[in-house]
A and B are shown apart, each in its own frame.
Chain A
Amino acid sequence: MLEFKEVTKTFEGSKKPAVHKLNLSINKGEFVVFIGPSGCGKTTTMKMINRLVEPSDGQILVEGTNVLDQDSVQLRRSIGYVIQQIGLMPHMTVGENISLVGSLLKWSKEKQRERAKELISLVDLPEEYLNRYPHELSGGQQQRIGVLRALAADPPLILMDEPFGALDPITRDGLQEEFKKLQKEVDKTIVFVTHDMDEAIKLADKIVIMNAGEIVQVGSPDEILKHPANEFVEDFIGKDRLLQSRPDVTRVEQIMNANPITVKEERTLKEAIQVMRDNRVDSLLVVDEIGTLKGYIDIEMIDAQYKKRSYVYEAMDTEEYSVHKSDLLRDTMYRMLRRGSAYVPVIEENDRLVGIVTRAALANMVYDTIWGDETAEVAAAD
C-alpha cells in the first residue's frame, strides 16, 4: 500500500537531515501511528507522502507508484488529510466543507450533497448541521467534520497530523474511540502522527517510534510495551506505562496457586470441615472424581445446614464463576474486585480445576510490580 525506500529529507540551510534513510512499509487497512519527540521528523515523514514536503532523496510508493511521478494536486485529492488546527473553511457551511474535495473533483451539486449527508450520519451529528457554519460547532464537533472531510472522496489512504491534539482530554477520548470504530467500518489505511503515547497505544495497529530523523522501533503496541528496543523507547514510553503494561500481558496461569484446597462432592460435611481445619481455610472448592469444578462451599454454609444435610453436594453453592487459565490477568482482577470475592477458581478445558487466584496472590503481584526491582537490588547488594 505504502512504502518508504531510503527516504531522506534535508531542509534548505540545514546540514542535518530531518529524515534520514527511512525504510518502512505499510499494509492496506493498517492504522500506523508515527510518534516521537518534537523535531524527530514524524510530521515531515507524513507530509512527504502527499508531497506537502518534497523528499530530497529516496522513493515513496503509494500503491506501487512513486509519488514524485504523480501530479501533486491529483495525488493530494486521492489522499485524505486531517490537521491539528482542524482547518475548516469559516466562510463555508459544514456541508460545503465536507464536500470540498468533491467540489474540486467537479462533482455535481447533488452528489456533493448526498455524500455530505451520508458522511454526517457516520458520526453523531444531526443532518441540520450541514447548513451551519463551523464557528457554531464545538471543537470536538468541528474535528469530526474535519475527519469527514478527509473521507469525502473515499480515499484509500488518510493522513492525520495530531488531529486530536488541540482538544480537551474528555472530548479527545471520546473522539479517539469513535474514530477507531469508524476506521474499522470504512477500512482505510491511516497514517497518524502524534506525540501522545496513550493515544498511540489506544489507536495503533503499528507504532513507529522516531527520533532524530530515524526510526527507532516499529511494532504493535503490545510488542513495544513488552520489548522496548532501547533506553530511548523505554524513556519515551515512560516507566509508569511500562509497569502498567505488565499485568496487561500476564495470564492467570502465571500467578495462580496450582494447589487449591478442594473437597470431593460426595464427601460428608464433617469431612469437609476437617479439610478446612487441616488447611486453615474457610472455604473449599468442590470437584468431582475427575477434577471437574462443581462449586464451592464455605464454613457459613456448613454451619447453616449441617443439621439438615450431610453431604457436600447437597450444601454447596453451584454458581458458575471461574476464569480460564489463559485469560488475561487484568480482566480477572477487574472481575474479582467488582464481585468483592476473595478468590477465583481457575479452570482449563472441560471445566477441570487447575488452580486458584486469591486476593493474596494479586497483592503479591502488585507488590512485585512496585517494589520488585528494589527488592532485587537490595538482595543483590547483600
Chain B
Amino acid sequence: MEAIITTLSAYGWDLLEKTGEHMFISLAAILLGVSVAIPAGILLTRIPKVADRIISFVGVLQTVPSLAILAFLMPFLGVGVLPAIIALFIYSVLPILRNTYTGVMEVDSSLKEAGRGMGMSNWETVRKIELPLALPVIMSGIRFATVYLIGWATLAAFIGGGGLGDLIFDGLNLYQPS
C-alpha cells in the first residue's frame, strides 16, 4: 500500500501525461480508422461481388502480430507518434469496415428501393437511409475497435510513440522481486 502511494507521489504527473498520450494515440487512430473504414465499407456495398474478397484480405492483415507491424513500419516511417498511430489505424480498419459493410447490406432492401423509387440520389440514399439505419451496427464495430486499440496502444512505447506503455515496459524491465 505504502509502495503504491510512494509511486503515485513520485510518478503521478508522469502517469497523467502518459495517459494523455495514450488517449491521443488511440483516439487519433480510431478517428482515422472511422474516416477511412466507413466510406470504404459503403463503397464495398456497391460492389458486393468483390467485397467479400477485400474483407478477407483485410482480415489477413489483421492476423499479423501488432508488434510485427510496428517493426515493419519502422524502416518506412521511422519512430515516434505517427508510425504508432498508423499501425494502430491499420488494426482499427477491419472491425469498422466489416460492420459498416454488414450494417449497410442488412438495411431492408425494400427501403432502399422505396428511396430510389422516390428519386433519391446515391448520396441521399446513403445519408438518409443507409447510414442512419446501419448506425447501431457501425457503432458496435467502432466500440470493438476502440477497446482493442486502447490495449494495443501500449505497444507504441516500443517505437517511441509514448503512452502508458512507456511506464509499463519500464516497470517490467526494472522488475525487482523484493
Contacts and interface: CB of A to CB of B under 8 A. Distances in A.
Interface of A: 50, 52, 73-78, 81, 83-91, 100-101, 104, 149-150, 159
Given A89-B111, A90-B133, A91-B132, A76 B124 contact: no
A81 B118 contact: yes
A29 to B, nearest CB: 22
> Main SS of the interface on chain B?
helix
A85 B129 CA distance: 16
B110 interface: yes
B125 to A, nearest CB: 10
Which of B114, B115, B116, B120: most chain A Cβ within 10 A?
A: B114
B113 A87 contact: yes
B75 to A, nearest CB: 48
Interface string B100-119: 00000000101101111111
Given A73-B121, A89-B129, A83 B110 contact: yes
A52 B133 contact: no
B111 A87 contact: yes
Contact of B119 (A84, A85, A101): A101
Contacts of A150: 118
Interface in B127-145: 128-129, 132-133
B113 to A, nearest CB: 6
A116 to B, nearest CB: 15
Contacts of A91: 132-133
Contacts of B128: 89, 100
B120 A73 contact: yes
A84 B110 CA distance: 9
Contacts of B117: 50, 52, 76, 81, 83, 159
Nearest to A77: B119
A379 B119 CA distance: 63
B110 A87 contact: yes
B174 to A, nearest CB: 55
Contacts of B133: 90-91
Nearest to B121: A73
Q: Which 3 A-B pairs have the closest CB atoms?
A: A87-B114, A77-B119, A85-B110
Contacts of B120: 73, 104
Contacts of A100: 118, 128
B59 to A, nearest CB: 30
A156 B120 CA distance: 19
Contacts of A78: 119
B118 to A, nearest CB: 5
A81 B114 contact: yes
A340 B22 CA distance: 93
A91 B133 CA distance: 7
A223 B124 CA distance: 45
Nearest to B120: A104
B148 to A, nearest CB: 29
Nearest to A97: B114
Nearest to B118: A101
Interface string B10-49: 0000000000000000000000000000000000000000
B13 to A, nearest CB: 47
A285 to B, nearest CB: 62
A244 to B, nearest CB: 35
Contacts of B129: 89
A86 B113 CA distance: 10
A277 B30 CA distance: 106
A104 B110 contact: no
16 contacts: A52-B113, A76-B116, A76-B117, A78-B119, A81-B114, A81-B117, A81-B118, A83-B113, A85-B108, A87-B111, A89-B114, A90-B133, A91-B132, A100-B118, A101-B118, A159-B117
A95 B113 CA distance: 20
Nearest to B117: A81
A150 B117 CA distance: 10
A89 B129 CA distance: 7
A77 B113 CA distance: 13
Given A77-B118, A89-B129, A90-B133, A104 B124 contact: yes
Which of A84, A87, A101, A104: most chain B Cβ within 10 A?
A: A87
